[in-house]
Homo-oligomer: A and B are copies of this chain.
Amino acid sequence: MKCVKCEKKAIINIRYRNLRLCRDHFIEYFEKTVKETIRKFKMFSKKDRILVAVSGGKDSLALWNVLNDLGYRASGLYIDLGIGSYSRVSREKVKKFSKESGLELIIRDIKAEYGKSLEEIKARRKTCSTCGIIKRHEMNVVAHEHDFDVIATGHNLDDESTVLLSNILRWQIDFLSRQHPVLEPWHEKLKKKVKPLCLLTEKETKTYVILKNIDHVEEECPYSVDASTLFMKSVMNSIEERFKGTKYYFYTQFLKNIDIFKNNKKWKEDLKECKLCGFPTNKDYCSFCRILR
Protein backbone atom coordinates (compact mmCIF):
# COMPACT_ATOMS: atom_id res chain seq x y z
CA MET A 1 0.00 0.00 0.00
CA LYS A 2 1.60 3.22 -1.20
CA CYS A 3 1.07 6.80 -0.12
CA VAL A 4 -1.24 8.58 -2.58
CA LYS A 5 1.02 11.65 -2.46
CA CYS A 6 4.46 10.08 -2.89
CA GLU A 7 6.16 6.76 -3.47
CA LYS A 8 6.67 5.91 0.20
CA LYS A 9 4.88 3.17 2.10
CA ALA A 10 1.49 4.26 3.45
CA ILE A 11 1.15 3.87 7.23
CA ILE A 12 -2.58 4.59 7.39
CA ASN A 13 -5.60 4.02 5.21
CA ILE A 14 -8.21 6.69 5.87
CA ARG A 15 -11.07 4.85 4.25
CA TYR A 16 -13.76 7.50 4.49
CA ARG A 17 -11.55 9.97 2.64
CA ASN A 18 -10.05 7.35 0.37
CA LEU A 19 -6.56 8.44 1.46
CA ARG A 20 -3.53 6.23 2.01
CA LEU A 21 -0.70 8.25 3.48
CA CYS A 22 2.92 7.85 4.54
CA ARG A 23 4.17 9.20 7.87
CA ASP A 24 5.04 12.69 6.66
CA HIS A 25 1.99 13.17 4.51
CA PHE A 26 -0.25 11.95 7.31
CA ILE A 27 1.15 14.55 9.70
CA GLU A 28 0.79 17.20 7.01
CA TYR A 29 -2.84 16.09 6.49
CA PHE A 30 -3.54 16.05 10.25
CA GLU A 31 -2.15 19.55 10.77
CA LYS A 32 -3.91 20.88 7.69
CA THR A 33 -7.24 19.47 8.84
CA VAL A 34 -6.86 21.08 12.27
CA LYS A 35 -5.85 24.39 10.68
CA GLU A 36 -8.82 24.31 8.32
CA THR A 37 -11.20 23.39 11.14
CA ILE A 38 -9.95 26.38 13.16
CA ARG A 39 -10.33 28.67 10.16
CA LYS A 40 -13.66 27.34 8.94
CA PHE A 41 -15.37 27.66 12.32
CA LYS A 42 -13.50 30.87 13.25
CA MET A 43 -12.21 29.29 16.47
CA PHE A 44 -9.29 31.57 17.34
CA SER A 45 -6.30 33.44 15.95
CA LYS A 46 -2.58 33.43 16.66
CA LYS A 47 -3.10 36.33 19.08
CA ASP A 48 -5.53 34.46 21.31
CA ARG A 49 -4.47 32.74 24.51
CA ILE A 50 -5.89 29.21 24.42
CA LEU A 51 -6.52 27.02 27.43
CA VAL A 52 -6.35 23.36 26.37
CA ALA A 53 -8.11 20.95 28.72
CA VAL A 54 -5.70 18.00 28.95
CA SER A 55 -6.52 14.70 30.57
CA GLY A 56 -3.31 12.94 29.60
CA GLY A 57 -5.09 10.83 26.99
CA LYS A 58 -4.29 10.74 23.27
CA ASP A 59 -6.84 13.28 22.09
CA SER A 60 -6.07 16.14 24.45
CA LEU A 61 -2.29 15.72 24.13
CA ALA A 62 -2.57 15.47 20.34
CA LEU A 63 -4.53 18.72 20.42
CA TRP A 64 -2.08 20.54 22.65
CA ASN A 65 0.84 19.37 20.54
CA VAL A 66 -0.66 20.24 17.18
CA LEU A 67 -1.77 23.69 18.32
CA ASN A 68 1.76 24.37 19.53
CA ASP A 69 3.28 23.06 16.29
CA LEU A 70 0.92 25.27 14.31
CA GLY A 71 2.16 28.30 16.26
CA TYR A 72 -0.80 28.96 18.52
CA ARG A 73 -0.41 30.17 22.13
CA ALA A 74 -1.69 27.12 23.99
CA SER A 75 -1.45 26.51 27.74
CA GLY A 76 -2.64 23.29 29.35
CA LEU A 77 -5.12 22.76 32.15
CA TYR A 78 -4.96 19.48 34.02
CA ILE A 79 -7.79 18.83 36.47
CA ASP A 80 -6.73 16.34 39.11
CA LEU A 81 -9.88 14.56 40.29
CA GLY A 82 -7.99 12.30 42.70
CA ILE A 83 -8.95 9.03 41.02
CA GLY A 84 -6.21 6.88 42.60
CA SER A 85 -3.33 5.75 40.44
CA TYR A 86 -5.13 6.75 37.25
CA SER A 87 -4.95 10.43 38.22
CA ARG A 88 -1.35 10.11 39.46
CA VAL A 89 -0.16 8.53 36.21
CA SER A 90 -2.02 10.90 33.91
CA ARG A 91 -0.91 13.95 35.91
CA GLU A 92 2.71 12.85 35.53
CA LYS A 93 2.35 12.31 31.77
CA VAL A 94 0.85 15.76 31.36
CA LYS A 95 3.59 17.36 33.49
CA LYS A 96 6.25 15.54 31.49
CA PHE A 97 4.76 16.70 28.18
CA SER A 98 4.52 20.28 29.39
CA LYS A 99 8.12 20.27 30.63
CA GLU A 100 9.50 18.73 27.44
CA SER A 101 7.55 21.12 25.24
CA GLY A 102 8.21 24.15 27.43
CA LEU A 103 4.49 24.92 27.59
CA GLU A 104 2.66 26.46 30.53
CA LEU A 105 0.57 23.99 32.53
CA ILE A 106 -2.03 24.88 35.13
CA ILE A 107 -3.01 22.13 37.54
CA ARG A 108 -6.26 22.25 39.47
CA ASP A 109 -6.30 19.72 42.28
CA ILE A 110 -9.92 19.21 43.29
CA LYS A 111 -9.11 17.73 46.69
CA ALA A 112 -6.70 20.60 47.50
CA GLU A 113 -9.13 23.18 46.19
CA TYR A 114 -12.39 21.95 47.70
CA GLY A 115 -11.32 19.41 50.35
CA LYS A 116 -13.02 16.52 48.52
CA SER A 117 -11.93 14.19 45.71
CA LEU A 118 -14.30 13.00 42.96
CA GLU A 119 -15.02 9.84 44.93
CA GLU A 120 -16.02 11.86 47.98
CA ILE A 121 -18.17 14.25 45.95
CA LYS A 122 -20.06 11.96 43.60
CA ALA A 123 -23.02 11.41 45.95
CA ARG A 124 -26.19 10.29 44.20
CA ARG A 125 -25.21 11.00 40.62
CA LYS A 126 -23.37 8.73 38.25
CA THR A 127 -19.62 9.28 38.50
CA CYS A 128 -19.23 10.32 34.85
CA SER A 129 -21.95 12.90 35.25
CA THR A 130 -20.34 14.34 38.40
CA CYS A 131 -16.95 14.36 36.70
CA GLY A 132 -18.38 16.26 33.74
CA ILE A 133 -19.89 18.91 35.98
CA ILE A 134 -16.62 19.38 37.87
CA LYS A 135 -14.50 19.57 34.72
CA ARG A 136 -16.77 22.09 33.00
CA HIS A 137 -16.85 24.23 36.13
CA GLU A 138 -13.09 24.16 36.63
CA MET A 139 -12.40 24.99 32.98
CA ASN A 140 -14.69 28.00 33.29
CA VAL A 141 -13.14 29.15 36.56
CA VAL A 142 -9.53 28.82 35.39
CA ALA A 143 -10.18 30.43 32.00
CA HIS A 144 -11.93 33.31 33.76
CA GLU A 145 -9.32 33.81 36.49
CA HIS A 146 -6.37 33.62 34.11
CA ASP A 147 -8.21 35.58 31.44
CA PHE A 148 -7.79 33.14 28.58
CA ASP A 149 -9.60 33.91 25.32
CA VAL A 150 -10.81 30.44 24.54
CA ILE A 151 -11.04 26.92 25.99
CA ALA A 152 -10.15 24.04 23.64
CA THR A 153 -11.06 20.38 24.20
CA GLY A 154 -9.90 17.24 22.38
CA HIS A 155 -13.28 15.89 21.24
CA ASN A 156 -12.84 13.96 18.00
CA LEU A 157 -15.21 12.93 15.22
CA ASP A 158 -16.06 9.64 16.93
CA ASP A 159 -17.06 11.50 20.11
CA GLU A 160 -19.10 14.09 18.26
CA SER A 161 -20.93 11.75 15.90
CA THR A 162 -21.75 9.39 18.77
CA VAL A 163 -23.09 12.12 21.03
CA LEU A 164 -25.02 13.45 18.06
CA LEU A 165 -26.65 10.07 17.51
CA SER A 166 -27.56 9.76 21.21
CA ASN A 167 -28.99 13.26 21.29
CA ILE A 168 -30.98 12.62 18.13
CA LEU A 169 -32.40 9.32 19.36
CA ARG A 170 -33.74 11.20 22.39
CA TRP A 171 -34.53 14.42 20.50
CA GLN A 172 -32.59 16.50 22.99
CA ILE A 173 -33.22 19.68 21.04
CA ASP A 174 -31.42 21.92 23.52
CA PHE A 175 -28.29 19.78 23.45
CA LEU A 176 -28.48 19.58 19.67
CA SER A 177 -28.70 23.33 19.31
CA ARG A 178 -25.42 23.67 21.23
CA GLN A 179 -23.50 20.73 19.73
CA HIS A 180 -21.31 22.93 17.58
CA PRO A 181 -17.49 22.91 17.40
CA VAL A 182 -17.73 26.47 18.71
CA LEU A 183 -19.81 27.38 21.71
CA GLU A 184 -19.90 31.14 22.03
CA PRO A 185 -19.86 32.53 25.58
CA TRP A 186 -23.37 33.36 26.65
CA HIS A 187 -22.40 35.05 29.91
CA GLU A 188 -19.62 37.50 30.76
CA LYS A 189 -17.89 34.98 33.03
CA LEU A 190 -17.70 32.31 30.35
CA LYS A 191 -15.21 31.91 27.51
CA LYS A 192 -15.66 30.61 24.00
CA LYS A 193 -15.28 26.81 23.82
CA VAL A 194 -13.91 25.05 20.75
CA LYS A 195 -13.20 21.52 19.46
CA PRO A 196 -10.42 21.72 16.84
CA LEU A 197 -10.18 17.92 16.40
CA CYS A 198 -13.87 17.45 15.64
CA LEU A 199 -13.24 16.51 12.00
CA LEU A 200 -10.60 13.87 12.79
CA THR A 201 -11.36 10.34 13.96
CA GLU A 202 -10.11 8.52 17.02
CA LYS A 203 -7.95 6.37 14.74
CA GLU A 204 -6.36 9.49 13.27
CA THR A 205 -5.52 11.12 16.63
CA LYS A 206 -4.17 7.78 17.85
CA THR A 207 -1.92 7.53 14.79
CA TYR A 208 -0.80 11.13 15.29
CA VAL A 209 0.34 10.64 18.92
CA ILE A 210 2.17 7.44 17.99
CA LEU A 211 4.01 9.09 15.09
CA LYS A 212 4.80 12.12 17.22
CA ASN A 213 6.01 9.92 20.10
CA ILE A 214 3.68 11.59 22.55
CA ASP A 215 3.65 9.66 25.80
CA HIS A 216 0.01 9.46 26.91
CA VAL A 217 -2.18 7.47 29.29
CA GLU A 218 -3.23 4.26 27.61
CA GLU A 219 -5.38 2.95 30.42
CA GLU A 220 -8.99 4.01 30.58
CA CYS A 221 -10.33 5.88 33.57
CA PRO A 222 -11.40 3.17 36.08
CA TYR A 223 -14.90 4.60 35.93
CA SER A 224 -14.42 4.46 32.16
CA VAL A 225 -16.70 6.29 29.85
CA ASP A 226 -20.15 5.20 30.89
CA ALA A 227 -21.26 1.98 29.27
CA SER A 228 -24.04 3.65 27.27
CA THR A 229 -21.56 5.87 25.46
CA LEU A 230 -19.34 2.88 24.67
CA PHE A 231 -22.37 1.03 23.34
CA MET A 232 -23.39 3.94 21.13
CA LYS A 233 -19.80 4.18 19.85
CA SER A 234 -19.96 0.54 18.82
CA VAL A 235 -23.27 1.19 17.04
CA MET A 236 -21.73 4.15 15.22
CA ASN A 237 -18.71 2.03 14.29
CA SER A 238 -20.88 -0.73 12.86
CA ILE A 239 -22.74 1.79 10.71
CA GLU A 240 -19.43 3.31 9.58
CA GLU A 241 -18.12 -0.15 8.77
CA ARG A 242 -21.09 -0.70 6.50
CA PHE A 243 -21.43 2.78 5.05
CA LYS A 244 -18.02 4.35 5.10
CA GLY A 245 -18.06 8.09 5.65
CA THR A 246 -21.23 8.05 7.76
CA LYS A 247 -19.61 9.62 10.83
CA TYR A 248 -18.16 12.46 8.80
CA TYR A 249 -21.23 13.06 6.68
CA PHE A 250 -23.68 12.70 9.58
CA TYR A 251 -21.76 15.20 11.69
CA THR A 252 -20.85 17.76 9.03
CA GLN A 253 -24.33 17.78 7.50
CA PHE A 254 -25.77 18.22 10.98
CA LEU A 255 -23.57 21.29 11.38
CA LYS A 256 -24.92 22.68 8.12
CA ASN A 257 -28.44 22.23 9.46
CA ILE A 258 -27.88 23.07 13.12
CA ASP A 259 -29.92 26.28 12.90
CA ILE A 260 -33.15 24.32 12.66
CA PHE A 261 -32.63 23.30 16.30
CA LYS A 262 -32.02 26.81 17.51
CA ASN A 263 -35.50 28.20 17.97
CA ASN A 264 -35.80 26.76 21.41
CA LYS A 265 -33.99 29.07 23.80
CA LYS A 266 -35.68 27.90 26.98
CA TRP A 267 -32.41 27.02 28.72
CA LYS A 268 -31.36 30.66 28.71
CA GLU A 269 -34.61 32.06 29.98
CA ASP A 270 -34.13 31.61 33.70
CA LEU A 271 -30.47 32.52 33.81
CA LYS A 272 -29.12 33.57 37.21
CA GLU A 273 -25.73 33.61 38.89
CA CYS A 274 -24.87 30.89 41.38
CA LYS A 275 -25.07 32.29 44.93
CA LEU A 276 -21.83 30.53 45.83
CA CYS A 277 -19.43 30.68 42.87
CA GLY A 278 -21.12 33.37 40.78
CA PHE A 279 -21.08 31.34 37.55
CA PRO A 280 -24.23 31.18 35.42
CA THR A 281 -26.95 28.69 36.31
CA ASN A 282 -30.74 28.46 36.10
CA LYS A 283 -31.14 27.58 39.78
CA ASP A 284 -30.00 29.40 42.93
CA TYR A 285 -26.86 27.28 43.06
CA CYS A 286 -25.03 25.80 40.04
CA SER A 287 -24.71 22.03 39.56
CA PHE A 288 -21.12 22.12 40.75
CA CYS A 289 -21.86 23.88 44.03
CA ARG A 290 -24.91 21.67 44.57
CA ILE A 291 -22.92 18.43 44.25
CA LEU A 292 -20.12 19.82 46.39
CA ARG A 293 -22.35 20.56 49.37
| A246 within 8 Å of B (CB atoms) | yes
**Which residue of B235, B246, B257 is within 8 Å of A173 (Cβ)?**
B257
Chain A positions 228 through 257: 1 when the CB is less than 8 Å from some CB of chain B, otherwise 0? 100100010011001100100110011011
The answer to whether A235 touches B231, judged by C-beta atoms less than 8 angstroms apart, is: no
Copies in the complex: 2
| A29 within 8 Å of B (CB atoms) | no
The answer to whether A238 touches B239, judged by C-beta atoms less than 8 angstroms apart, is: no
Contacts of A253 in B (CB 8 A): 170-171
Chain A: residues with Cβ within 8 Å of the partner, total of: 22
| A168 within 8 Å of B (CB atoms) | yes
Given known A-B contacts A260-B260, A260-B263, A261-B260, A171 and B235 have beta carbons under 8 A apart: no
Closest to A168 in B: B168
Closest to A250 in B: B169
A138 CB to nearest chain B CB (Å): 31
Given known A-B contacts A260-B260, A260-B261, A169 and B235 have beta carbons under 8 A apart: no
The CA-CA distance from A169 to B245 in the complex, in Å, is 11
What are 9 contact pairs spanning A and B, CB under 8 A? A169-B239, A169-B243, A169-B249, A170-B249, A170-B250, A171-B254, A171-B256, A235-B235, A260-B260
Contacts of A239 in B (CB 8 A): 169, 235
The CA-CA distance from A82 to B238 in the complex, in Å, is 36
A sample of 18 more A-B contacts (CB under 8 A), given A170-B250, A171-B253, is A168-B168, A169-B239, A169-B246, A169-B249, A169-B250, A170-B253, A171-B249, A171-B254, A171-B257, A173-B257, A173-B260, A228-B242, A228-B243, A231-B242, A235-B235, A235-B238, A260-B261, A260-B263
